[in-house]
Structure 1
Amino acid sequence: MITALVFDFDGLLMDTESTQLESWQYEWRRHGLELDVATFFADHGGDVSELRYAALAAAVGAEYDRVSSHDRRVAYRDALNAELVVPQGIQKWLAEAEGLRLAVASSSPASWVLPLLEQTGYRSRFEVVACGDEVSAHKPDPAVYHLALGRLGVQASEAIAFEDTPHGVAAAKAAGLRCVAIPNRHTDPARFTAADLVLANAADMTLAEILGP
């Protein structure tokens, strides 16, 4: 019997994947350059900002100023993030989840996840928030899912995970959870064969339909 739902954060509860990409595109274009979107997203969770800054510095050359570049990009990103909301389909799931325990399992640090989750107005709905700075390895490693399950005090068989990336699906499955994938718009849906269910949009099914009889 399913008693808990565990949600990824970035790209699922809030489309911060898109705002991150847009902020980097903005900064590359400030230098008259175009970011290679095909290589932007890593196949693992966690922060890859240093690699991205290094790539930009190499492209710009000696005149690149990392401090001003970072400040400008982050200000642009934060302005975009301020407009984000939880997708309507997931809002409906949260409204339908009466009696179920809810958790977040994210590779991002708590300092990133918690303020944004508070911004959504749904922070109080999540009994548990497990973050990447609390575990030794990021997705596809299952550590953050083990942490979330441990804090909930439930078995993997009692929970369903919701993810938007292949490495997130891999982490959930490695932890023993059923996983529903909603591929973000930057990832090929064909890469989600490990998911138990793949939806184009959360509005495509009700939570009751996902949970089944």
Structure 2
Amino acid sequence: MPVTHLPGSFVGHIFASMQQLITSYLFQNKICPLPGFGSLSIATNGAEADFTNHLVTAPKQIIQFNVKEMNTNGLLTYVAEKTRQNEEDVTESLRSFCAGLKHEISTHAKANLPGIGNFFVDENGNTIFEQEEIPEAFNQHVTAIRVIHPNAEHTILVGDKETTNTMMTEYFSEEEVVKDRWWIWALVLVALALLTLIIYFSNSNNASHLGNSVKI
């Protein structure tokens, strides 16, 4: 089937519509075939917790390009439903669109898919993809204040060592018990001192009485 190479401006209604449909399909399905050109896919990095600033950063979507092609059935059905065209016409439009992308790159060294990114060709003739920045409205951070329940065990950092609140509570409880018992030892020492004095004076008194009872 012959492919028509079109001007690089991509201003035609069919191509503008195809751009929007490809963008929509990609973000909904995380993959999008580009017949005769390659394929796009989306990988999502997980959200990250920033406890210092009380934030949870939004997951980041990374768009990747691969020269390897994939099955186009899903995209063809999607575009046919949205445009109310039969799949044969959609197939021809999609192939023409992708051929236009390649023509744009070869002519102007760059081709743009709005909302997705730009395609370039390096000095070795390889197609390079550069993702567009996703609007901040889609990457809003969430304020998150960590709630710690009194009876729930949670991880804490003491110096450079990781421990739990339960272990620290037990540690300080044991230390407090040791500190609280000092007075017991003090009382024992006082009692021993008093007992020593009592024995001493008792012995002294007995010796005095014995001395007085001796006849000369």
* TM-score, with structure 1 as normaliser: 0.26
Greater RCO, 1 or 2 (C-alpha within 8 Å, sep 6+):
1
TM-score under structure 2 length normalisation: 0.26
Indicate the structure with greater strand content: 2
Point out the structure with max Rg over C-alpha. 2
